[in-house]
Structure formats: structure tokens, C-alpha cells
């Protein structure tokens, strides 16, 4: 296998684009903006790109081809990946394998979502409630709002088993929304207090509105390639150490809902494959679609022991000056969560952090980063698709 590097990055500002708040834009225009930014950032000619890999959930069929036609890219192998909120990280895994195995030397990878208008029409105005029509998902049909309800039950199981508190979950929102203030691409740029988080509207007890990710539109893109090509364009390419991707294992942690076996397994596989451990990480982006998931993620990816996630946030160990900075971009809670774009956007934050380009939210001397991304619902009420990406400089 050849080493593979990221050397171009671009994203749109995340927000509501479909005539709600910002100017009216389509998924094609958002995707084009991100892709052209990534191409220009890399300083590569668009006709040097040999493969295209797109992640999207709610766009039209062959979204990638539509986006790339605006960028002058056609006549190359092009793939659209749908893996829920882990769609574009799954696309990146496919692209990484293609370059690593010599199928192509340079690839563009992007995620795009422009779906806030859909949420207006189906009546559910909260991203976690993204839901198929009745009859498609038994759990959804039984429970109603399935995403937030499930994470709320994960949180209560964690509270019952380990004594974790609602304040500890709320602190994730306080930290990540504060980080988003420092990110010009973030949807929300307003910090909140723990009281504001706890007193915001109850969605699924104990999850309040400020602990749930918003509806977001946006796109994020990157250029990857072999070492020779990457170094031609930048002195500081970011190496993709490993990407692991799993469907959730049957029954997860065997009836214990206070953690996710898919993330435990995918991160262990990743650490084993690249010889990097959780103690080596400087910066991490987690899938904090709900505050509870970040606390559980600390444990699942081995930043702390099982049951110590609440203490980890309490002591500021996931914050600047702590053990490892988690979600410096603002995470899904602060930066926003355009489902198909989230996976690539997480890794772009790591790319910029490792290159020292993050301004006031820069993590000092960041050399190794990990992205934790999950999508949909699979076996054992765990995410149907789990992706762990480790990058280094």
C-alpha cells in the first residue's frame, strides 16, 4: 500500500441556505464552492484529478457528477456514497484505498447536504429527527423521534450505571459552542452558559434543545494523493494514517446501552493498524450530534476508562489545556451538521489544526488527530455506519 496525503481543503460556511436565512443555494452550488476552494487551495489543475468520491444523504442521484460538472471535472471514475451521517468519511475511505492501492494517484473527496427545506416540509425541525416516512423503520414507527430519543436513553443508561450527571452532558454544549465562536465557518457563533443549556426547551429528557445538533446545509471538500504529488503542492501534507469503517456489531455491547461497541471496535482496529494509541492524540473531532454522544465517545475511543466520561469533561480534559482537545471546530453542536458533509468537514478541521492554520482556536503543536463519525442506526441500536480516521503530520 502507498502512503496517502491530504493536500487541499475547502468548505462552505455551514448554515441554512435554502432561502431561510442565507441566500438561496442548492446542493450543487454548495458542493461546487467547496470543491473549487479545495482545488485552488491545493494549487492543482482540475484535470489532474483522477477519481471523485462524494458523500451525501438527501441530494438527488449522481450528486457528485452534477457538482463536478460545474467544476469542469468529468470523464473520470466517480462515486456517490450514502452512509447516513458517515457518508463522506465512507467516501474518503474508498478514495484512500483507491490511491493506496494504485488505482488512481489523485482524488477529490467531498460531502454535501442542502436539506433544510425538507425539514420544513416534513414538520420535524431538528436534524436528529431526520426520519423516513412511516413504514420504513420499525423503531422509528414505534418511538416517534428516534435519534434524540435513543441518545437520551443512552444518556440515562450512562447516568444509571456510572452516576453521570445532566450538568456533565450540558458542559459538552458549552465547550463546543464556545469553540464554534472561534470558527468562521460555524453555523452558531454564540457561546452559551450551562444554565442556558439546561433551561433550553426539553426535547427528549434529559436532552435539551441546546444539546441537539441543528439543521444545517453545507459542503466540505479535500484533495488527496500520493506523497510525490502532495509534496509537489505543499511542504506540509497531512498523512492519512488509517481509516476503519464498520457496521455495528449484532446487539452491540450485549444489552448495555451506555457505550457503543462499533466505536470501540473501529477505534481499536485503527490504533492497531497504525501503531498510534489514544495517548498519542493531540486533537479529536467527535460525532457530537447530541451532547451525550461526546461523553460516551471519550470512553469508546479510549481517551478515558469506561464510566469516566463525565469526569473527563468536568476536569476540562477534553478542552484547551487538558489532555486532548475535542471538537475544536465547534463540533456538530456548534459548527453544524450537514449530514453528508460532516465526515469530510471533521477531517478538514484536523488538516487545518495539524498545519497550524486555525487562528485563535489553534491547538498548540498538534501532530496527530482522530475523527469519530457515525451514521444512521444499525444493530443493537448503535450507529449503522462507524468511521474512525487517524491523520498525522
Partner 1 sequence: MEQTRIKLEENEMWVRENLLKLPETPDESPRLIAGKCESCGDVSFPQKERCGVCSCKNINQIYLSRTAKIYSYTIVHRSVPGYQLPNIVAMLKFKEDDSLLVISQIKNIAPEDVKSGMEVELIIDKLSDNFMTGKKVIGYAFQPTIGDIIRER
Residues labelled catalytic: 85, 337
Nearer to partner 1, 30 or 85 (CB): 85
Asked if 326 interacts with partner 1 (CB under 8 A), we say no
The neighbouring-strand residues paired with 229 are none
Stretch that binds partner 1, among 37-45, 143-151, 192-200, 319-327 (CB under 8 A): 143-151
Diameter of the chain by CA atoms? Answer: 56
What distances in angstroms separate CA 128 from CA 18, 102, 168, 209, 332, one per listed residue? 19, 38, 21, 11, 11
| Rounded least distance, CB 355 to partner 1, Å | 40
Asked if 255 interacts with partner 1 (CB under 8 A), we say yes
CA nearest to 186, candidates 335, 351, 5: 335
Stretch that binds partner 1, among 75-83, 139-147, 239-247, 308-316 (CB under 8 A): 139-147
Asked if 160 interacts with partner 1 (CB under 8 A), we say yes
* Whole-angstrom distance, CA of residue 2 vs CA of residue 359: 32
Nearer to partner 1, 147 or 218 (CB): 147
| Rounded least distance, CB 125 to partner 1, Å | 9
| Rounded least distance, CB 126 to partner 1, Å | 7
Stretch that binds partner 1, among 20-28, 105-113, 200-208, 322-330 (CB under 8 A): 200-208
Q: What 3 state SS string does the chain have?
A: CCCEEEEEEEECCCECCCCCCCCCCCHHHHHHHHHHHHHHHHCCCHHHCCEEEEECCCCCCCHHHHHHHHCCCCCCCEEEECECECHHHHHHHHHHHHHHCCCCCEEEEEEEECCHHHHHHHCCCCHHHCCCCCCCCHHHHHHCCHHHHHHHHHHHHHHHHHCCCHHHHHHHHHHHHHHHHCCCCCCCCCCCCHHHHHHCCEEECCEEHHHECCCCEEEEEEEEEEHHHHHHHCCCCEEEEEEEEEECCCCCCCCCCCCCHHHHHHHHHHHHHHCCCHHHCCEEECCCCEHHHHHHHHHHCCCCCCCCHHHHHHCCCCCCCCCCEECCCCHHHHCCCCHHHHHHHHHHHHHHHHCCCCHHHCCCCCCEEEEEEEECCCHHHCCCEEEEEEEEC
CA nearest to 57, candidates 385, 371, 345, 341: 341
Asked if 251 interacts with partner 1 (CB under 8 A), we say yes
Asked if 123 interacts with partner 1 (CB under 8 A), we say yes
Asked if 1 interacts with partner 1 (CB under 8 A), we say no
Nearer to partner 1, 76 or 145 (CB): 145
| Rounded least distance, CB 161 to partner 1, Å | 10
Nearer to partner 1, 206 or 225 (CB): 206
| Rounded least distance, CB 211 to partner 1, Å | 13
Asked if 207 interacts with partner 1 (CB under 8 A), we say yes
Asked if 61 interacts with partner 1 (CB under 8 A), we say no
Nearer to partner 1, 94 or 117 (CB): 117
Asked if 228 interacts with partner 1 (CB under 8 A), we say no
Stretch that binds partner 1, among 131-139, 170-178, 179-187, 278-286 (CB under 8 A): 131-139
Q: Does residue 149 have a cis peptide bond before it, meaning omega lies within 30 degrees of 0?
A: no
Asked if 198 interacts with partner 1 (CB under 8 A), we say no
Nearer to partner 1, 69 or 139 (CB): 139
| Rounded least distance, CB 252 to partner 1, Å | 8
Q: If binding means CB under 8 A, how many residues of this protein chain bind partner 1?
A: 41
| Rounded least distance, CB 383 to partner 1, Å | 15
Nearer to partner 1, 57 or 224 (CB): 57
Nearer to partner 1, 33 or 382 (CB): 382
Asked if 320 interacts with partner 1 (CB under 8 A), we say no
Chain-centroid distance, C-alpha 179: 15
| Rounded least distance, CB 158 to partner 1, Å | 9
Binding site for partner 1 (CB under 8 A): 122-124, 126, 129, 131, 133-135, 138-145, 148-150, 152-154, 156-157, 160, 201-207, 250-251, 254-255, 257, 379-381
Amino acid at each position: 500500500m502507498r502512503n496517502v496525503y491530504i493536500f487541499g481543503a475547502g468548505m462552505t460556511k455551514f448554515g441554512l441556505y435554502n432561502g431561510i436565512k442565507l441566500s438561496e443555494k442548492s446542493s450543487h452550488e454548495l458542493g461546487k464552492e467547496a470543491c473549487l476552494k479545495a482545488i485552488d487551495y491545493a494549487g492543482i489543475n482540475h484535470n489532474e484529478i483522477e477519481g471523485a468520491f462524494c458523500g451525501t444523504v438527501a441530494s438527488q442521484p449522481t450528486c457528485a457528477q452534477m457538482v463536478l460538472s460545474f467544476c469542469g471535472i468529468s470523464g473520470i471514475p466517480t462515486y456517490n456514497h450514502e452512509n447516513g451521517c458517515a457518508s463522506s468519511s465512507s467516501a474518503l475511505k474508498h478514495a484512500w484505498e483507491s490511491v493506496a492501492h494504485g488505482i488512481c494517484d489523485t482524488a477529490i473527496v467531498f460531502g454535501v447536504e442542502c436539506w433544510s427545506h425538507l425539514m420544513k416540509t416534513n414538520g420535524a425541525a431538528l436534524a436528529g429527527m431526520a426520519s423516513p416516512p412511516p413504514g420504513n423503520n420499525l423503531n422509528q414507527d414505534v418511538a416517534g423521534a428516534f435519534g434524540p430519543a435513543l441518545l437520551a436513553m443512552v444518556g440515562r443508561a450512562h447516568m444509571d450505571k456510572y452516576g453521570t450527571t445532566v450538568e456533565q452532558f450540558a458542559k459538552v454544549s458549552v465547550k463546543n459552542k464556545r469553540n464554534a465562536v472561534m470558527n468562521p465557518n460555524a453555523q452558531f457563533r454564540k457561546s452559551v452558559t450551562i444554565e442556558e443549556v439546561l433551561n433550553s426547551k426539553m426535547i427528549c429528557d434529559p436532552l435539551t434543545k441546546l444539546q441537539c445538533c441543528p439543521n444545517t446545509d453545507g459542503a466540505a471538500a479535500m484533495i488527496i494523493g500520493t506523497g510525490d504529488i502532495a509534496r509537489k503542492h505543499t511542504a506540509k501534507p497531512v498523512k492519512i494514517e488509517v481509516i476503519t469503517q464498520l457496521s455495528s456489531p449484532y446487539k452491540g455491547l450485549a444489552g448495555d446501552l451506555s457505550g457503543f461497541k462499533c466505536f470501540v471496535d473501529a477505534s481499536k482496529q485503527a490504533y492497531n493498524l497504525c501503531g498510534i494509541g489514544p495517548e498519542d492524540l493531540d486533537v479529536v473531532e467527535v460525532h457530537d450530534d447530541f451532547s451525550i454522544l461526546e461523553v460516551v465517545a471519550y470512553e469508546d475511543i479510549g481517551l478515558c476508562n469506561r464510566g469516566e466520561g463525565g469526569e473527563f469533561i468536568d476536569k476540562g480534559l477534553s478542552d484547551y489545556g487538558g489532555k486532548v482537545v475535542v471538537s475544536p471546530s465547534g463540533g456538530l453542536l456548534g459548527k453544524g451538521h450537514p449530514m453528508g458533509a460532516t465526515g469530510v468537514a471533521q477531517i478538514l478541521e484536523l488538516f487545518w489544526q495539524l498545519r497550524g492554520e486555525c487562528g485563535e482556536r489553534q491547538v498548540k503543536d498538534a501532530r496527530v488527530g482522530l475523527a469519530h463519525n457515525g451514521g444512521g442506526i444499525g444493530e443493537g441500536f448503535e450507529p449503522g455506519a462507524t468511521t474512525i480516521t487517524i491523520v498525522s503530520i
